[in-house]
Chain A
């Protein structure tokens, strides 16, 4: 465990040094992420100029939900996105050999190699959105609620990570399919919606089968209405299930991998 922590710290240090070398790139990508976050917030603002409630959620409750969803996504972008995105490209090109030759867990090595400080910087903006919404709602969550919120965000991160690994692992089977990681972005759009808005088949598909809605709704509910064990259990269960599924799919895919390099 300590060895993996040391490896991760070395990778993180390298990523930060690299970012400092390309400062304009860092600034530009931080702006890109900030703009896209603003797009989502602006959309909420505009809809609420026309209505008072969306599925029973007021504007600031919705802002807290969207902020939570963006927070999980920023962490994913900051800690894993570049590595997992490159993983798909490396599988297609055959450069994935590089990771097979490394003395460590292949999935760990392949998915934690690069850190994106621009994504992490924007996670503070997402936290600011959540704090602002909570302030406007007059909420005063206890320290325990905040710890539970953080743990639920962690579970959400595990679910997002697993979904992205599964999407990208499809490259082991369909090497010609580019842009499979786009599937992940399409699915995360659902995480910005309140659970109460889903009915019938949509509820079954996006709340229970694909836990994209639970990922954001469970932590947001904890801040809004206090700890609800049913939400926490659903989230922990989904995180364990999806992480196991990611491990299985990745290792099944790995068996099919045949180096494309000469």
Chain B
């Protein structure tokens, strides 16, 4: 376990080097929040509620999602893994008693700790400006359940990124697949609009897909879009199912990918 803690510390250091890049990204994500504010503000003009939720509840949903993504979202882990496979850097892990998935996951946690803390700076500036437009439910039970869903969401997001990284064993370039998947995730993960606004049938289908549990589910628990205990318990079980499935797929891709891998160079 000690070796993964060292990988975590290494990740912490290397991510702190790029703190300005992350800070700039955090700053510009506030522009995205401005777009959300203007668009949904205009949509709510003349409507007290959309989908049963007020403007403040919808804006809070987008803000919590943005912040959560800086804590658990996989930003460029797929590209980093892909680069390590393509450049042969992965060879060193094949010769050492270290699990590559756990090594990358340790670095992922370190990276999200840095980006998560950095987003708090623009957030501290933005929240006082938006104070009148934000509202969070007061039930305390939402916090532990939301945190469990958020932890599972981190595992799902990292596992999907890891899967795309593994595709490098078969394809030289994975960028196209990643950006294609991002488009699907942004819709079915509820990043473009709250998923509960979808027609009931489509929403029901989305609840069985992993994308729902990537972002929408934990945010919906925190912001009060899901309240029924049965729905939350069922969601946590399905989310766990996707975590286990994706971890299995990761392992299969790693084993099969290594069979195709040719270690060149010294």
Contact = CB atoms under 8 A, between A and B. Distances in A.
Interface of A: 25, 28-29, 31-32, 35-36, 38-39, 42-43, 46-47, 49-51, 53-55, 176-179, 182-183, 186-187, 189-190, 193-194, 196-198, 202
Given A32-B183, A197-B42, 14 more contacts: A28-B176, A28-B180, A31-B180, A36-B183, A39-B183, A43-B192, A43-B193, A47-B193, A50-B197, A53-B46, A177-B24, A178-B21, A190-B34, A197-B41
Given A50-B50, A187-B31, A189-B32, A39 B186 contact: yes
Given A35-B184, A177-B24, A189 B35 contact: yes
B128 interface: no
B43 interface: yes
A54 B32 contact: no
Interface majority SS on B: helix, strand, loop or mixed? helix
Contact of A42 (B34, B44, B187): B187
Contact of B28 (A36, A47, A186): A186
A215 to B, nearest CB: 15
Contacts of B193: 43, 46-47
A182 B32 CA distance: 12
28 contacts: A28-B177, A28-B180, A29-B176, A32-B176, A32-B179, A35-B184, A38-B183, A42-B192, A43-B193, A46-B193, A47-B193, A47-B197, A50-B43, A50-B47, A50-B197, A51-B47, A51-B50, A54-B42, A177-B21, A179-B21, A186-B28, A186-B29, A186-B31, A186-B32, A189-B31, A190-B35, A193-B38, A197-B42
A35 B182 CA distance: 9
A101 B156 CA distance: 49
Contacts of B43: 47, 50-51, 54
Interface majority SS on A: helix, strand, loop or mixed? helix
A49 B39 contact: no
Contacts of A187: 31
B173 interface: yes
Nearest to B173: A25
Nearest to B195: A46
A47 B21 CA distance: 33
Contacts of B197: 46-47, 49-50
Nearest to B192: A43
A54 B44 CA distance: 8
Contacts of B47: 50-51
